[in-house]
Structure 1
Amino acid sequence: MMSPIASLTLSISDNATPYYLQLREQILAAIREKRVSPEDKLPSSRSLANMLGVSRSVVTQTYDQLVAEGVLVSKPKRGIFIANTSLITMPLESLPEAKSAEPEKTVGYFDSSADHSVFPHKAWAASMRRAWLNPDPKILMGNYRLGFPQLKEQLAKFLYSLRGLECGAEQIIITAGNRDALQLLQHMLKKHVNQWYTENPTYPPINASLTGQLEHLDVQLGGALPPENTSPWAAVITPCRQYPLGISYSSQCREKWLQTLSEKQGFVIEDDYDNEFIFHGRPVTTLFQAAKHRVSAEERVFYVGSFSKTLFRGLRLSYVVVPKAFVKPVLESQKQLGQSASLPMQPALSDFMASGAFYRHLNKMRRHYRMKRDYLESLLNAHLSQWFEWEKPTAGMHILLRLKTPYADDPEISGFLKSYAMTQGLQLSLLEDHYVDPMLATKGIVLGFSNTSENDMECWVNVISQCLGCYFDG
């Protein structure tokens, strides 16, 4: 029997609809539009999960629900098939619909993701065509557990040219986002590590991605210092541009980390989340590269990067650069966990990089984001300088505003600001929400500018200004 995979166009988006419901509706749509027929065999849950870059449980949940509804049928030792029932010939309105909540009011926010409105779709489409004119059979079979080799070669060249990071393609592992990368590394290091640390403050999903009891490293003006714990540990840090504070670790702080690693006291996972976009000055050397010049330290730093910030969020491809001694252990962990990075997109991305389109896009976006940063700062100077202070970022995709004294001393201001903004359709990212204990945190707001339109910037800055004027001035 033929497999309908060639006629199915399935994709998963990071929106409010659960992944399994998105997949369910797309399979039902394929049936309605007669792109599949009764007795057609669907891809296995593992291969479809790999293709979509999602957990296998998403696909199994979708299949189980459609089997229960009589749309699909599971045949032991054979797979999942389109049911041979009258359902296939039912009109559109007769097919079962998933229950959904009432549509929610649209809420906006200062978005620090990639601006997909200026993505080079034609260049990307050309790379997709070239990559799939004569596809690698191993891609179709899902045999590249650690990632498409040509993509890893392109990444090694990219990291050296942009970040000065020296590594071999064999040290690069392609993952399905940073969460997948952290979970893979935690699984691989479980025999070497007793305690995990994250920065305080940090990006909340980092804490959510790690299992077990976490400890936290307070970030001071010069960065976070390494743990004094003598028990084996690992720490996830952002030394080149700390999130959300936007600072770079000082040379003294970095030296303490390197010295500690040289003494074989821990491991570092270096998250280099948006350092492709530097507007002024020279890029900060990665800790991964600096560790190469220290005995023992180079085998204790793992580097994590992502294409979500450089291309588009829905791509769901990230990567880890691991020390040579850990390549085989990572492969073993990947086998145990199951492959989750989408292979079909990787040849297209490799071509996109090899053609030079990726580098042209980065240069364009660097200028684009710099103009957005400057426009947002002009609005801040005009409307919010009475209440906030900030430093103009020389890199990255967000600005951090800190409430000035005495406004920051008001214990109710953060709650009022967040609630008022929500009534106006704006969801604010408070600095306090990035701390372990919000009550002890500095008061402020994290404003993403990279994927926020100028109209929205102006509207939402006015919302914040009106809120604070109402609260403090009556």
Structure 2
Amino acid sequence: MPSPGANRTTSTLRQQVYAQLRRAIEQGSLRAGTRLPPSREHAASLGVSRNTVLWAVQRLQAEGYVEARVGDGTYVSQAAGAPPTQGLVAPPRGLSRRGQLIAETAARWRPPHVAARAFRIGAPEVDTFPFALWDRLSRQSRPGQRSARAQYLDPAGDPDLRQAVALWLWASRGIRCDAAQVVVCSGSQQGIDLIARLLLDVGDEVLVEDPGYPGIRASLLGHGVLARPVALDTQGLRIDEGAAQWPNARMAVVTPTHQFPTGVCMGLARRQALLQWARTHDAWVVEDDYDGEFQYGKNDGKAQRVPALCSLPGSERVLYVGTFSKTLHPGLRLGFVVVPPALVEAFAMARAITDRHAPGDTQAVLARFIAEGHLLRHLRQMRELYQARQRVLIDALADASDGAWQLQPSDRGMHLLHEAALGSDDETLSRQALTAGIMLAPLSRYAMQSPRKGWLLGYAGYAEAEIRAAARVVGGLARRLR
């Protein structure tokens, strides 16, 4: 690889070394499994500093192109060494460096925009949503109120909605916050984006769960932030390992109530350790509580609900991200972030710069929907429905696979994980299922360095007949794996 030249700035050198390494991987010059040269030798051959090479390699590692093997060096990952048809394509010419980052992350995370079908994860039940009630609440607004909401509004959100959310969080998730701390946004993805834009700089390091949600990593990488993978155990993110491996990390993003995608719940001791890490390192913790409302209990349906991380003492450096895309439906495009009082104005202005504010009528109806108790009643119905559908999925898949797939029940969430042995191939079966019309996500798709394999099965948004039909297809495929 030719030397980038000594007359470039440090930033340009880093970008060029990174781009040339990535191009070599994507074009096949560096094949999957190839060991990269030691950083000192690599830097000497290029005529650049070792830190320049380390920065480029670390970014490639954060994006999944390479993987570090303890005591054995850095290797081109199997996923990154796949042919270009896998989606790793070069961004179009003419983009800025930030534009290139965004375009590149889009090659790794493409949010679904087709109608959900079994077993796609993250899809709530929408057919039984009380649309008639919603329409009736909308029509109850007086003409003067409608006219007022047709103007430019507070970018932080409708005051009534912020108040309703604050009261709901206290009653449902144990979070004590003032309505002024609630900033309304267009779902949790925009909330993560606002956090990254306002609290992180290019080159900052953020601890993320591995496996974890790729939409979070995409947002971070799009801002030039380095997503640092941290392994999980039965208590969630191993903050002790993360702090040791990435001592300069400025933030951790976690899903503590129901970890996505493995489903584990972070215990109290681990939560306290995470909060202590944030205080000690002057770092932030982002709590993504994407489906924290769906806690079912064991057999009697009476759940001892785990409160939010943000509700614990010492959680002053926690930013809580919530969404109505799961509790109600994704079409609302409404979520919120609970931030410390000193940050509210900055978050509101960042929201204003992006898209001014959320639709006034929708915010007003949602505020009434919450305040009049309709959200509570809807969630009670959905918890019962989802728990019943989970049981149908477990039984149907066990029968269809002749016992090959025995899913473990969960007292929370909207999907189940069937984990496979390490070294298994989970992509092939997922492709076979998709050919048959079934959306079955492989666990490896959500991993950065984790070797864990398996399949994710969403059940919340699908009628029992559809679950059984899809289970017969997957069960037949699973029998062939034995």
TM-score of the aligned structures, taking structure 2 as reference length: 0.69
Match of 1:190 in 2: 200
Q: Where does 1:362-373 land on structure 2 (aligned, <5 Å)?
A: 362-373=379-390
> 1: CA distance between counterparts of 2:115 and 2:148?
43
Letter in 1 for 2:456: V
Give 1:254 deviation, angstroms: 1.2
> 2: CA distance between counterparts of 1:331 and 1:379?
48
CA 1:385–1:316: 2 relative to 1, 3 Å:
farther
> 2: CA distance between counterparts of 1:318 and 1:187?
17
Q: Where does 1:245-260 land on structure 2 (aligned, <5 Å)?
A: 245-260=262-277
Match of 1:284 in 2: 306
> 1: CA distance between counterparts of 2:386 and 2:228?
35
Letter in 2 for 1:247: V
Partner residue of 1:315 out of 329, 332, 336:
332
More displaced stretch, 267-276 vs 210-219: 210-219
Q: Where does 1:256-267 land on structure 2 (aligned, <5 Å)?
A: 256-267=273-284
SS at match of 1:328: helix
Give 1:257 deviation, angstroms: 0.6
SS at match of 1:199: strand
Residues 391-417 of structure 1, C-alpha deviations (whole Å, 9 max, x = no match): 2110111111123xxxx3664x42331
Q: Where does 1:148-163 land on structure 2 (aligned, <5 Å)?
A: 148-163=158-173
Q: Indicate yes or no: 2:457 matched with 1:447.
A: yes
More displaced stretch, 191-200 vs 373-382: 191-200
Match of 2:288 in 1: 271
CA 1:230–1:436: 2 relative to 1, 3 Å:
closer
Partner residue of 1:224 out of 229, 237, 247:
237
SS at match of 1:347: helix
> 2: CA distance between counterparts of 1:429 and 1:456?
17
Match of 1:55 in 2: none
Match of 2:9 in 1: none
Q: Indicate yes or no: 2:402 matched with 1:402.
A: no
> 1: CA distance between counterparts of 2:149 and 2:219?
28
SS at match of 1:433: helix
Q: Indicate yes or no: 2:223 matched with 1:214.
A: no
Residues 297-316 of structure 1, C-alpha deviations (whole Å, 9 max, x = no match): 41x11000100111111111
Q: Where does 1:338-357 land on structure 2 (aligned, <5 Å)?
A: 338-339=355-356, 341-357=358-374
Structure 2, gaps ≥5 residues long:
1-113, 298-302
CA 1:239–1:192: 2 relative to 1, 3 Å:
farther
CA 1:257–1:409: 2 relative to 1, 3 Å:
closer
Letter in 1 for 2:199: L
Give 1:191 deviation, angstroms: 5.9
CA 1:410–1:225: 2 relative to 1, 3 Å:
closer
> 1: CA distance between counterparts of 2:141 and 2:247?
50
Letter in 1 for 2:305: P
Q: Indicate yes or no: 2:473 matched with 1:463.
A: yes
Letter in 1 for 2:179: A
Q: Where does 1:33-52 land on structure 2 (aligned, <5 Å)?
A: none
Give 1:355 deviation, angstroms: 2.1
Q: Where does 1:51-90 land on structure 2 (aligned, <5 Å)?
A: none
CA 1:314–1:106: 2 relative to 1, 3 Å:
closer
Match of 2:37 in 1: none
Letter in 1 for 2:227: L
Match of 2:53 in 1: none
Q: Indicate yes or no: 2:191 matched with 1:181.
A: yes
CA 1:410–1:335: 2 relative to 1, 3 Å:
closer
> 2: CA distance between counterparts of 1:253 and 1:433?
26
Letter in 2 for 1:241: H
> 2: CA distance between counterparts of 1:214 and 1:389?
34
> 1: CA distance between counterparts of 2:318 and 2:260?
19
1:230·1:265 contact (CA, 8 Å) conserved in 2?
Answer: no
1:236·1:270 contact (CA, 8 Å) conserved in 2?
Answer: yes
Residues 225-252 of structure 1, C-alpha deviations (whole Å, 9 max, x = no match): 3332443511211011101111111222
Residues 288-342 of structure 1, C-alpha deviations (whole Å, 9 max, x = no match): 111xx22xx41x1100010011111111101001112221222232344342533
> 2: CA distance between counterparts of 1:342 and 1:249?
35
Aligned length: 357
Match of 1:421 in 2: 433
1:154·1:350 contact (CA, 8 Å) conserved in 2?
Answer: yes
Residues 434-454 of structure 1, C-alpha deviations (whole Å, 9 max, x = no match): 1014xx522211111110121
Partner residue of 1:237 out of 240, 251, 254:
254
Q: Where does 1:429-444 land on structure 2 (aligned, <5 Å)?
A: 429-437=441-449, 440-444=450-454
Structure 1, gaps ≥5 residues long:
1-104
Letter in 1 for 2:412: A
Match of 1:91 in 2: none
Identity %: 28
Q: Indicate yes or no: 2:152 matched with 1:142.
A: yes
Residues 201-236 of structure 1, C-alpha deviations (whole Å, 9 max, x = no match): 112212112222221121122211333244351121
Give 1:132 deviation, angstroms: 5.5
> 1: CA distance between counterparts of 2:194 and 2:470?
39
> 1: CA distance between counterparts of 2:403 and 2:341?
52
Give 1:385 deviation, angstroms: 6.6
Give 1:364 deviation, angstroms: 1.3
Match of 1:24 in 2: none
